[in-house]
Structure 1
Amino acid sequence: MRRLALIATGVLACLGLVGVATAFVYGVTPREWDGNLDFTVAQLCDAHDNHPTCALLEQQPADPADAPLANVDSVAIEAWNLPAGIRVGDLLLCHVHQQDVAIDSSDAVTRVDDCHS
């Protein structure tokens, strides 16, 4: 009987160790999100020759099922990612890529590009 109790304790300890290892690996594995989000042009940066150098974009409400890893309420984007003739108030569809790379980070690295009307 004592031998059976020792075997059962060993099996439970192994299962617990596997559970802890699985949780650790899941916790340190980088998470990624890729998708398209709608933005409105809120502000244009300094213009050179009537061409803005950058723009401040504000995200339009999105479906919670398509939510990115981290909040993207507003983001600044360089001019080469913007379509020609962009104006404040225009609606854009932009590709967003996020990656959560740090173990204890609450924020994700966000890249916004390929915006078009």
Structure 2
Amino acid sequence: MIKINAASGILAITLLLSGCSDDGLPSCSSDEGIQFLTDTFNEAQFARQDSLSVVEVTDIKEISSSDHRVQCSAKVSTNSAETLLVNYHMDLRDDGTSVLELKVVE
């Protein structure tokens, strides 16, 4: 079982994405959006510390979308055979970079 050291049971992780598509933010279920989620999860300190990586992303849902923010949820299956529910949002910054914040929900 993955242990998340957060009093609230939620772990927030942020990763910047530069070179986002010219159309703005990717959609939750697009290849680019899934890759952004996968990269963010895999780069998280807890994932690196426990040698975890994403094997599959399923049940992807778009919660809301605007020009500057896309909110999503998905199930992430890891190489430890666990499936985690994650809520995340991608934000477009003024400088054209994107940031993804991920919350693993227990």
TM-score by length of 2: 0.31
Q: Which has the higher helix share?
A: 1
Structure ID, larger Rg: 1
With a CA cutoff of 8 Å and minimum separation of 6, indicate the structure with the bigger relative contact order.
2
Q: Which has the higher strand share?
A: 2
TM-score by length of 1: 0.29
